[in-house]
Amino acid sequence: MQHLRLLLKDVWYLTRPYFVSEDKKWAWGLLVAVLVLTFSMVGLDLLQSFSRNVYYTALQQRDATTFLRGLFWYVHNQEGFVLGFFIITIPAVLCSIYATYLQQMLGLRWRRWLTQRMTRQWMENQTYFRIAITTSGLEAGADNPDQRIQEDLNSFVTDTLTQFINLLSNIVTLFSYVGLLWALSGPLEVLGFSIPGYFFWAALIYSVMATWVTHLAGHKLAGLQFFQQRAEADFRYSLVHVRNNAEGIALYRGEAEEQAGLNRSFSQVYGNFLVIMRRTKWLGLLTTGLEVVSGNFALLIGSIRYFAGKMTFGTLMQLVMAFSRVQGALGWLSTSYASLTTWHAEVARLATFQRVMDRAQAMRDKVTVVPAAANANLQVSGLDVFRPDGAALLRNVSFTLEHGQMTVVTGPSGTGKSTLFRVLAGIWPFATGTITQPDVAMMFVPQRPYVPTGTLHRAVTYPAGVDAYPEADVIAALQQVGLGQLAPRIESEEAWGQILSPGELQRLAFARIILARPGWVFLDESTSNLDAASEAALYALLRQACPDMTVVSITHRESVVAMHVNRVDLSPFAVAAPEGSERRVSASPASP
Ligand SMILES: Nc1ncnc2c1ncn2[C@@H]1O[C@H](COP(=O)(O)OP(=O)(O)OP(=O)(O)O)[C@@H](O)[C@H]1O
């Protein structure tokens, strides 16, 4: 019961937003249309049961005219007006085709809406990054976000619609056929007792037993399905990881270790699927067996009254059909068990992922950012910086970065220099304190610049679009940073992130800076892969191309330190600060 409540809560949490969204008219319109068509199919099926009664009885009585009319046209007898079987088939087929088409249409629109919402939420406030840096990113169901958005979301939409429509259709079937079953069945005399509507009781007892037995055999499948999805995604990720790190693996000759890792990852997929297969086999045996037995069971118990001459052959056949419909509806849970467990696992994974995203988005930056004039200094006061697990990294950091100057940030490896830049960039939610920040464009450049897919042109103008600058300026920027030889290939779509050497990638980052001309630029070891002469040339280029730009650099190299006017040493603020080091409250000159 607890499981069911949680499942329904998750389904509601994931489903409700679409049905109250701006697309709600389509959502409800299509859903109502599908339901109307589905219920019509149940009604037509019920009508067909009467045609069946007529033509089977005509068969028994060797009445060819009524038989043919019962099949192809209509019969008007003492019980009323009965439409022919095939006449009903035409609207039934149309209803079935359009119900499927409209259901797919609803699924497609819902998927589009949900995908757009999820990808937007994933991108907003750097949720993708926050999930990656928080331990909650490892929660079951929040792993492999790409798979959640592409695969789980798709199957969730399709399966939710299918399960919901099946459930309603079964309820309507149940109510449509129960009365018929009761009325046609008549009482059964056993040992002097009369059991009214005995067909109905037989269907009920049979279905309850079948559902219970199936639940016993299949209830562990949901957890196994859940794990299978995760194992598959992890395996795929291991393969992608090899592709993304091809050179590193090749140079280390790490193939054997990688192969072993891939085998380990796949063994999870294999082992778990074996267990699923065994359980599904038993479940399949059980459900197929129950289905086979149910048809003959109905015939067997119906034959008692038939042989007693209390019902016609047509009524018996109609009863067998009604029994199978009622039993099918009552036993829906048992026959759909395997697909329901898969759906359950999809819902759980998607709901967990959605919750992790909601949580990551709701994570408030605890840093107070005070906007200042464009030409103001940047002031940090009383800043505490933490790791994602809550451990303190830097305590009570206070300093001033002067507008228009070049400042270098130094400190031993692991002090928290890059993390401080992340705080200044507003993407690190684990910090408290106050930052007075000039209201001007700022660019943060990591050690290994990110390169998007596509042309070199796109790579240079990123994060602005390719049309953001005249092409001549883009080529000039490439030439200025020493990448002029690539200008003829600027429109060529290649894997630039892998083709360019680490030093060339750093040159590319400088081309971006001189095109974008931000008010402030933060360089995190952005020349670490260049020789001293190129490094000096790029810094000189920055000064010459963007003379008003404020430059803040992280570096371990004294040659770079020497190019800056001011210096902020973070070592005194480090939590594991060396004994006796003094805390500085403002930047000091870079050179002694
Ligand atoms: N996403 C993360 N999850 C957990 N710990 C992290 C994360 N990012 C950084 N850290 C930890 O925070 C500490 C500071 O890292 P940071 O990269 O800021 O240091 P740094 O001073 O820039 O080092 P380096 O000079 O070597 O580049 C390190 O111990 C690092 O392991």
Instruction: Give DSSP secondary structure letters for 417-441.
Output: HHHHHHHHHT---SEEEEEEEESS-
Atom number in ligand 1 closest to CA 420: 18
Atom number in ligand 1 closest to CA 415: 21
Residue of 126, 130, 387 with the most ligand 1 atoms within 8 Å of its CB, for mutation: 387
From ligand 1's centre to the CA of 569, what distance in Å? 16
From ligand 1's centre to the CA of 109, what distance in Å? 43
From ligand 1's centre to the CA of 212, what distance in Å? 54
Please tell me the predicted confidence (pLDDT) of residue 586. Answer: 43
Please tell me the predicted confidence (pLDDT) of residue 214. Answer: 81
The mean pLDDT of the chain is 89
Which of 424, 420, 411 lies closest to 569, judged by CA? 411
**pLDDT(581) > 50:** no
Element housing 352 (H / E): helix 337-362
**pLDDT(280) > 50:** yes
CA angle 260, 264, 265 (to 5 degrees): 120
From ligand 1's centre to the CA of 187, what distance in Å? 80
Distance of CA 446 to the CA centre of its chain: 29
Nearest CA residue ID for atom 26, ligand 1: 413
10 Å CB burial of residue 539 (0-12, 13-18, 19+) is buried
From ligand 1's centre to the CA of 416, what distance in Å? 6
Find the range with the poorest average confidence among 147-156, 214-223, 510-519, 565-574: 214-223
From ligand 1's centre to the CA of 531, what distance in Å? 25
Atom number in ligand 1 closest to CA 416: 18
List, for residues 417-429, the tens digit of each pLDDT value: 999 999 999 889 8
Residues with CB under 6 A from ligand 1: 133, 387-388, 393, 411, 413-419
Find the range with the poorest average confidence among 78-92, 261-275, 371-385: 78-92
Please tell me the predicted confidence (pLDDT) of residue 196. Answer: 86
Provide mean pLDDT across the span 52-56.
90
Atom number in ligand 1 closest to CA 422: 18
pLDDT bucket at 217, cuts 50 / 70 / 90: confident
ipTM of the predicted assembly exceeds 0.85: yes
Provide mean pLDDT across the span 27-35.
97
Element housing 329 (H / E): helix 313-330
Please tell me the predicted confidence (pLDDT) of residue 282. Answer: 87
Distance of CA 406 to the CA centre of its chain: 44
CB-based contacts of 540: which residues, under 8 Å, 6+ apart? none
From ligand 1's centre to the CA of 207, what distance in Å? 60
Which of 195, 175, 199 lies closest to 185, judged by CA? 199
pLDDT bucket at 113, cuts 50 / 70 / 90: very high
Please tell me the predicted confidence (pLDDT) of residue 590. Answer: 53
List, for residues 155-197, the tens digit of each pLDDT value: 999 999 999 999 999 999 999 998 888 888 888 887 888 888 8
From ligand 1's centre to the CA of 167, what distance in Å? 52
Q: How far apart are CA 361 and CA 145, in angstroms?
A: 15
Nearest CA residue ID for atom 11, ligand 1: 387
Nearest CA residue ID for atom 27, ligand 1: 413
Pair 558, 535: CB distance under 8 Å: no
From ligand 1's centre to the CA of 243, what distance in Å? 26
Domain 2-237+269-362 class in CATH = mainly alpha
Nearest CA residue ID for atom 7, ligand 1: 387
Provide mean pLDDT across the span 543-563.
92
Element housing 43 (H / E): helix 24-60
Q: How far apart are CA 528 and CA 447, in angstroms?
A: 7
Q: How far apart are CA 462 and CA 468, in angstroms?
A: 9
From ligand 1's centre to the CA of 93, what distance in Å? 64
From ligand 1's centre to the CA of 558, what distance in Å? 21
Q: How far apart are CA 54 and CA 318, in angstroms?
A: 9
**pLDDT(433) > 90:** yes
**pLDDT(199) > 90:** no
Pair 459, 451: CB distance under 8 Å: yes
CA distances from 479 to 443, 458, 465, 536 (A): 21, 16, 20, 16
Residue of 415, 424, 555 with the most ligand 1 atoms within 8 Å of its CB, for mutation: 415
List, for residues 138-159, the tens digit of each pLDDT value: 565 567 788 888 888 999 999 9
List, for residues 517-552, the tens digit of each pLDDT value: 999 999 999 999 999 999 999 999 999 999 999 999
From ligand 1's centre to the CA of 503, what distance in Å? 22
Tokens read off for 491: 């429109």
Find tokens 């199919």 and name the residue. Answer: 41
pLDDT bucket at 3, cuts 50 / 70 / 90: confident
Q: How far apart are CA 10 and CA 171, in angstroms?
A: 23
* Residues paired with 380 in a beta bridge: 399, 435
Which of 54, 43, 63, 45 lies closest to 82, judged by CA? 54
From ligand 1's centre to the CA of 387, what distance in Å? 8
Atom number in ligand 1 closest to CA 133: 1
Query: Radius of gyration (Cα) for the chain, nearest Å?
Result: 35
Provide mean pLDDT across the span 226-255.
87
pLDDT bucket at 328, cuts 50 / 70 / 90: confident
The answer to whether the bond into 463 is cis (omega within 30° of 0) is yes
From ligand 1's centre to the CA of 411, what distance in Å? 12
Please tell me the predicted confidence (pLDDT) of residue 163. Answer: 93
Distance of CA 115 to the CA centre of its chain: 8
Nearest CA residue ID for atom 18, ligand 1: 416
| Domain 366-589 architecture | 3-Layer(aba) Sandwich (3.40)
Please tell me the predicted confidence (pLDDT) of residue 141. Answer: 56
Atom number in ligand 1 closest to CA 570: 21
Residue of 126, 135, 410, 418 with the most ligand 1 atoms within 8 Å of its CB, for mutation: 418
Spatial strand order of the sheet with 588-589 comes to: 442-445, 520-524, 550-554, 406-410, 566-569, 588-589
**pLDDT(459) > 70:** yes
Nearest CA residue ID for atom 10, ligand 1: 387
Please tell me the predicted confidence (pLDDT) of residue 592. Answer: 39
Find the range with the poorest average confidence among 214-228, 398-412, 430-444, 463-477: 214-228
Q: What are the boundaries of each domain within the chain?
A: 2-237+269-362, 366-589
Provide mean pLDDT across the span 11-32.
96
Nearest CA residue ID for atom 5, ligand 1: 387
Atom number in ligand 1 closest to CA 389: 4
Nearest CA residue ID for atom 14, ligand 1: 416
Please tell me the predicted confidence (pLDDT) of residue 142. Answer: 67
pLDDT bucket at 578, cuts 50 / 70 / 90: very low
**pLDDT(400) > 60:** yes
Does 451 or 140 have the greater pLDDT score? 451
pTM of the predicted model as reported, rounded to 2 decimal places? 0.78
